[in-house]
Structure 1
Amino acid sequence: MADNFRVIFVELAQDVDSKTVCVNLATKLKTSEEKVALFFKGKPLFAPNNKDKALKQAKLLASLGINCRLQAVSSAAQNSSVSIANSLRDERIFDALDYITSSLIRLEEKLEDLEQRLPEAQLKIPDESVDEWQSDDLMLEEDLVPPKKRSNILLYSLVTTAVILLIVLAVYLVFPNLFSF
């Protein structure tokens, strides 16, 4: 059994002018005359409602000289519109994830380019450790330890931050009600 009903236009009463009815209905419902004209052409004017509210809507239309009928709206039709909305949302999410993935690939390629250029740049810089004015030896008690190889902590932290932000974006797109800003 249908839970909701929709008011469907059938015809105008015999002694009623369509233009007058259109203007009166638009004024009464505080809507545009175009929507009322579309109602006369078969488009729904009201959203599906329970039977009592649909009967009140039909009474209002009958008082203006509009003959109409109630049409049962199955919950399957409502579920199909919800599933269409969900599929559109899923499509947007997949598009966003595709964009994120391609951005990560571009970032990775740029990082590889930077890593390849880094040794070349270090070789081209002249050695500043050998100065002519410093010819005498330093007297240190401890032997000098060569510096550790420079780590890419900053680079990895930037990539990690970008990945975390992208994950948060994906979670926000999948569960928009989770965040209330």
Structure 2
Amino acid sequence: MSDTCKVVFEALNAPLTVQQAKQLLQTKFKLSDATVAKFLQGDEAFSATTLEKATKQQKLFASVGIQVKLVQPQTLAATSTAPDSGQKERDLKIINALDYITTSLIRLEEKVDELAQNQQAKLPDLNDDLEPEHHAEPLEFEEDLDAPIKKQSNKLFILIGGGILVLLVALLLVSLMYPDLLKI
């Protein structure tokens, strides 16, 4: 067996009834009703565990009169119910979709390769860009950078600033002379 196993219900010992087994599992092992029902039907009620733990669980179940078998998760999946026709149809559709995607990706890859080859033929070699061009023209600016910066008239700015200052002073004087007038 592999490293992991699952404990699956096999049978009850002769003096033990299904009802007694349910009560034992619920009281002694503290399992829920749904887990007990699932276990007694032979379904996967417990997750996979190591072989050592699974054998301990097998001995514990045997001590209360319940026979269990150890099953590898792959074997359990293979022996479970066979897929119905609806499942087969879904599987077929998935396979067809994957086939379509694969062929589309192959076509795209071929197209990218073709475009890459065309681009290499059109573009010059990258090594050519590393050498400076000898016939390049020197940069010339239209404006002289050494010329002094002309200061523009700030009369409008001064006029607006002065007006705001006068209004603030007037507001301050009104608030000092008539404190009841400007209560907030």
TM-score by shorter chain over 0.5: no
Larger Rg: 2
TM-score of the pair, normalised by structure 1: 0.40
Highest relative contact order (Cα 8 Å, sep 6+), 1 or 2?
1
